[in-house]
Amino acid sequence: MSIGYSRSLVEANKQADAESLGVALGRYCIAKDISVYIVSTYFNVSRMTVYNWFKGDTVPTYRMTERIKRYIGKHK
């Protein structure tokens, strides 16, 4: 487990629907230890929005979809 993420967030991400792009982003960021602050700044959204994406509670807007795909692809 990453030291930058709480155990509850990591578990919520593992239990969430892997088809969600926000959940996929969360799994990627957790694995790479990319902080929520960095992600929220990059996408110009609140940290709470990022947490909700990571847990699958909300899904990124359509306009964020391509940006997230590029972000994940760029950092591989």
pLDDT digits (tens, 9 = 90+) for 7-27: 999 999 999 999 999 999 999
Over residues 33-43, mean pLDDT: 96
pLDDT for the residue numbered 6: 93
- Count Cβ atoms within 10 A of the Cβ of residue 67 and give its class: 0-12 exposed, 13-18 middle, 19 or more buried: middle
pTM of the model: 0.89
Q: Does the pLDDT at position 60 exceed 80?
A: yes
Confidence bin at 74 (pLDDT 50/70/90): confident
- Which pLDDT does position 26 carry in this prediction? 97
